[in-house]
Chains A and B, each alone.
Chain A
Amino acid sequence: MNRELMSYKGIKLILALISVMTIIQSVCIIYQAKWLADIISSLFAGHRLSSVSNQIIYFAFAFTGRYALSLLIKRGAYLFAQKTGTRLREQVLAKLFQLGPAFVRREGTGNLVTLVLEGISQVRTFIGLILPRMSSMGITPVMILMIVFIENKTSGVILLVTMPVLIVFMILLGLAAQKKMDMQWSAYRTLSNHFVDSLRGIETLKFLGLSKKHGTSIKRVSDKYRTMTMRTLRLAFLSSFALDFFTMLSVATVAVMLGLQLIKGEILLNSALMILILAPEYFLPVRELGADYHATLNGKEAASAIQSIMDVPNEQKIEDHLDLSPWNENSEMTLNKVSMYRNEEGKMSLNCINLNVKGFKKIGIIGESGAGKSTLIDILSGFITPTEGEIHLSGNEHPLSSLTHEEWRQQITYIPQTPYIFSQSVLDNVRFYKPSASDAEVKQALEQAGLADLVSQFPDGINEQIGNGGRMMSGGQEQRIALARAFLCERPIILLDEPTAHLDIETEYALKETMLPLFKQKLVFFATHRLHWMKQMDYIIVLNQGKIIEEGTLDELLNKKGEFHKLIQSQLEGLE
């Protein structure tokens, strides 16, 4: 049993329900065996079929009851699993929107999508399987054993002794196989990854002229993988062999013991038959659990992976509500000793940042990668909470510990290096921030972003599907969609994180022409290492290793001949 499982809402109720049903089911199993034994022994004694017709009807009832209950139990567990899955998914998604893009970057998008989609369904399978298995494992063998003891001590002892022996052997052999796998783990992993590694690198192999030859290497490695897996399997299957072996041996021993006792007249045939019928039922729950063991493993892992996401502390402070008027000429923001630790050891992404901004200004943030530009933008966008420091906003009496407030986010537009294009139409992509916008407004925004010509060439115009699965767009065009969004929603604050670093210069040049009008009458934070943008900035911050090492207007910094000047010089020099 694991921690996650017991923490799900309503688990106790469903377990109790299933347990009650399992108890009734076990009674059915016992009576089914009893009546069947009675029928057979009467018939064996030479009675007519009509004399046992009542028992046959009873047997039919017990038999039907047993499987009807089994249906109810599985269905109940399934529905509970489904409900839990839905709740988990809602929680994970809500959490995702709490933790934001910094978290997504850290975890990897592929992982998160797989976890939500497949992980949750694995957890569902796990819950749906484990609840019935747990209760039948805990209840049915005990009840059967009690009856067998009442009927015949010797058989009871045989069954009682076999169970722990069987479980111990199963676990020991399972552990041995695991240990063997662990010992060869790195070799094993390399072998099993080799194929997908080869496929991913197939282009590189081609360029190296190795791709044809590599086919034989795949064969060799696959065969090696097979021999290695078979060696492990030989041991791993011993575990289920032990299960089968002890079950069958125990049933056989019970049968033989009963036979011997029958000869001596120590037991009646109907009791003996009943025990013989019950013996396999006694082991059935263990065998089912063994068969489903691997199916439940994935679910268990997924459950803990989901739990570990839920355990990440929240970024957004829900408790404090912000009263913000839209940013205007007189608005003011002050960052006071804002720091961000990258990890526990105290490495810092941002170190004691002090910054004062008033009204509509264009602020350039310059620095090499790792200098803390993106972290600063993330804090200003309200994606992450700084570890230390406070932020004053005009109109708010109390300093804030972060900007992770809905009210703040509603004022900003954020343009990253590669804006995400949703798999929707051009129309819906552009009006993503302002779903109520009319077609005419969207068209105007497209015009301003320089996309009108392109879009008019699409067969479906602004209703053309773009993004994944739709028409692919170049990096420059994607950036223009983001600009159109910004033109449309007219929010007073714009944050840009390296919007042009990956584009070719002609595209960058054309984009710059489009972008500058957007910045008018806005508060702009522009993080980049492309120095030419600084000409259009009102104020420049130079970051290095998380610290502001220089700040001022362009002229001030140029005259100062300090760090900024050095950066320019080094780019002017060109290559040696």
Chain B
Amino acid sequence: MKEWFIDYIKRYWRRFIVIVIVSILAVLCGAALMFTSGYLISKAALRPENVLMIYVPIVAVRTFGIGRAAIQYIARLTSHDATLRILSEMRIQLYKILEPRALFIRSKVRTGNILGLLSDDIEHLQDIYLRTIFPSIVALSVYFIVIFSLGWFSIPFALIMAIYLFILIVFFPLVSLWITKRKSQEINHQRNHLYQSLTDAVLGVSDLMISGRSKAFIRNHEMDETEITKIESSLHSMSQVREFISQGIIGLIVISMIVWSSGMANTHQIPGTLIAAFVLVVFTLGEIFIPISESTEKISQYQTSLDRLQETSHFETEDSKNEIENVSLHQKVTICLDHVHFRHDNESDWAINDLSLTIKQGEKIAIIGRSGAGKSSLIKLIYGALQPERGTITLNGIPANHFGDKMSKMISVLNQTPYLFDTTIRNNIRLGHQQASDEDIKRAAKQAKLDEYIESLPLGYQSAVDEMGENFSGGQRQRLALARVLLQNTPIVLMDEPTVGLDPSTEKELLETIFEAMKGKTLIWVTHHLVGADKMDKVIFMEQGKIEMQGHHRELMNQFERYRRLYQLDVPYQL
């Protein structure tokens, strides 16, 4: 609440005041238009000798008419400008929270598209200003202006009005908020349930069809929906009844106004010409006060977004507190793991259990193991994103987690789902090295064997990645990522199953390209099967955080029956 909301109010209060003042002026102009109009025709009804007698109200009526529209326009622009500014700052704030947690988001939040949701949450929060805060403050200010100006004529009547309007702008909104807050929890709960059940239906569509349970599913789903519709319907009915009562209060105010102003006119405390003016102005006020309940109701919706944003601060962060300033970045790097122990928390088993390993510059290593064998922890440890509980991991003697951001000069990563940004092919490749010339980019693309394909596109390197859609296969995506990594030109490359999901011939071609391009570099390759294992200097089998077998492909083939058995699955030499 504080960091996502109050801090922004503190920072932007000057703008907010301007917006509120302009909005109040717009409201007052609208009220003044009806007031002077009522006065104008009452005055005219007295049939003055000369039109000039009502010249001032005529001008005023026109001014207020035009002024209201113009000021409203300004109010809209200023309020949107302010919220867009806040939006921009909130984005940076969110990004800064997520940045050090980048490598852990995927494993932490498994469900769905959390990043997209967070971005939506921020968009959503800008409405809190436009739809709730500004209108509420404006209504509250107008409330006081109205009460004080009436008090100038008659204090008792002003107090009566104060009570009437208090119901509209304080009592109803608070009651509505209280009710919706309670019900919206229920609705959110139900909605999550529905979301889950629909995801089940869509992703499990084949199982539902084959099991013949689709009709039963629809029936169940509708039953759950009925629950939620009931609550929503009762909320709707509540808001409609509230609006009806609110309008009733406006009606009461009109009648009270008639009674009061006629009394005042009879006793000549006000001129009779003001009766119409006072009565007509009431209608314009209703438009300001009645919607406030609806605006405050929305607060319960923002709560969900705020909660989710708040949660981001609890995501796991990488451990690189001891980042040192001057790391010498050699092109020859020896990686040394010495009795490394790592576990995710104190209760769990060792994810990496007393692992020692030395990798010299230019060595090519394949790491294989079941899921949960500790492969991805090992990769994160080498990258310096995690810190071992015992033992050390060093690159040329410097602990891996001391590199911080400079690690990207030492190690580049090619993983299963390289992200391609919504920009041109050229810009996507250039991310590897921002000062790269167009020639460098072409060379990298050529090394990744993607140059011919890119040049065959009508826009060549200027083609947008997003619009390529289906023309861009899984293999080509990996090649684009490869070009980026080649441009990054680090002595070490970590590969995390880049060929999963590719068919054998695509996989073979991609691996050939990769191995050819990686000459001289250290290659640490996490893989799920053994195609290409014979090209590596060493194959490491991991199991429960330990190295189970290691050695060159030939040695393993000779020594281990288990290895031979597995190799057959990939290379069907028996057939």
Contact = CB atoms under 8 A, between A and B. Distances in A.
B206 A383 contact: yes
A476 B199 CA distance: 22
Interface stretch (B173-181, B296-304, B330-338, B497-505): B497-505
Interface string A48-69: 1100000010011001100110
A385 interface: no
Contacts of B369: 504, 506
A409 B115 contact: no
Interface string A75-105: 1001100100010011001101100110010
B196 interface: yes
Given A202-B99, A504-B368, A529-B504, A82 B233 contact: yes
Interface string B40-75: 111111011001001001100110111011101100
A496 to B, nearest CB: 12
B566 A409 contact: no
B121 to A, nearest CB: 11
B229 A237 contact: no
B346 to A, nearest CB: 19
Given A190-B422, A193-B422, A209-B405, A116 B198 contact: yes
Given A211-B99, A222-B92, A269 B208 contact: no
A433 B211 contact: yes
B91 A218 contact: yes
Contacts of B283: 277, 280
B200 to A, nearest CB: 5
Interface in A331-345: none
Interface stretch (B272-280, B436-444, B445-453): B272-280
Interface in B146-171: none
User: Which secondary structure characterizes the binding site on chain B?
Assistant: helix
Given A67-B247, A502-B500, A100 B206 contact: yes
Contact of B200 (A116, A423, A508, A571): A423
A197 B68 contact: no
A43 B275 contact: yes
Contacts of A90: 218, 222
Contacts of B112: 110
Contact of B532 (A273, A435, A574): A574
A210 B431 contact: yes
A142 B563 CA distance: 87
Contacts of B111: 468-469
Interface stretch (B8-16, B77-85, B393-401): B77-85
Contacts of B88: 219, 222-223, 225-226
Interface in B240-264: 240-241, 243-244, 247-248, 251, 254-255, 258-259, 261-263
A273 B233 CA distance: 40
A475 B497 CA distance: 14
A209 B408 contact: yes
Interface string B101-137: 0110110001111011011000000000000000000
Given A474-B371, A501-B501, A252 B65 contact: yes
Interface in A304-331: none
B95 interface: yes
A199 B244 contact: no
Interface stretch (A3-11, A253-261, A387-395): A253-261
B201 A237 contact: no
B554 interface: no
Contacts of B103: 203, 206
A256 B205 contact: no
Contacts of A534: 572, 575
Contacts of B207: 414, 419-420, 422, 432-433
A127 to B, nearest CB: 13
Interface stretch (A228-236, A352-360, A445-453, A517-525): A228-236
A205 B87 CA distance: 22
A101 B209 CA distance: 9
A234 B77 contact: yes
A27 B69 CA distance: 29
B210 interface: yes
Nearest to B261: A43
A198 B102 CA distance: 11
Interface stretch (B17-25, B355-363, B412-420, B454-462): B412-420
A194 B421 CA distance: 9
A474 B279 CA distance: 72
A248 B66 contact: yes
A440 interface: no
A43 B99 contact: no
Contacts of A529: 503-504
A129 interface: no
A59 B255 contact: yes
Contact of A110 (B113, B262, B529): B113
A222 B85 CA distance: 8
Interface stretch (A143-151, A175-183, A239-247, A456-464): A239-247
Contact of A273 (B47, B61, B198, B276): B276
Given A64-B251, A280-B283, A381-B206, A230 B81 contact: yes
Nearest to B568: A532
B183 interface: no
B76 A240 contact: yes
Nearest to B118: A199
A276 interface: yes
Nearest to B318: A206
Interface string B418-430: 1111110000000
B37 A276 contact: yes
Interface string A466-487: 0111001011100000000000
B259 A412 contact: no
Contacts of B236: 75, 78
A203 B200 CA distance: 28
Interface in B535-575: 535, 565-566, 568-575
A530 interface: yes
A94 B113 CA distance: 26
B199 A468 contact: yes
A1 interface: no
A368 B92 contact: no
Contact of A532 (B40, B434, B572): B572
Given A230-B77, A248-B65, A101 B432 contact: no
A562 interface: no
Interface in A394-416: 406, 409-410, 412-414, 416
A250 B211 CA distance: 67
Contacts of A241: 69-70, 72-73
Contacts of A43: 258, 261-262, 265, 272, 275
B463 interface: no
A252 B33 contact: yes
A273 B92 CA distance: 56
B214 A203 contact: no
Nearest to B65: A252
B484 interface: yes
Given A223-B88, A237-B77, A201 B116 contact: no
Given A226-B81, A255-B40, A263 B51 contact: yes
A535 interface: yes
Nearest to A222: B88
Nearest to B570: A505
Interface in A560-575: 568, 570-572, 574-575
B76 A56 contact: no
A238 interface: yes
Contacts of A209: 405-409, 488
Interface in A415-433: 416, 419-420, 422-423, 432-433
7 contacts: A223-B88, A229-B80, A248-B66, A272-B44, A420-B204, A432-B213, A506-B566
* 9 residue pairs, one from A and one from B, having the closest CB atoms: A209-B408, A252-B65, A222-B88, A201-B419, A262-B44, A244-B69, A255-B37, A245-B69, A504-B528
Given A237-B77, A476-B370, 7 more contacts: A89-B221, A90-B218, A263-B47, A381-B210, A474-B371, A505-B528, A505-B529
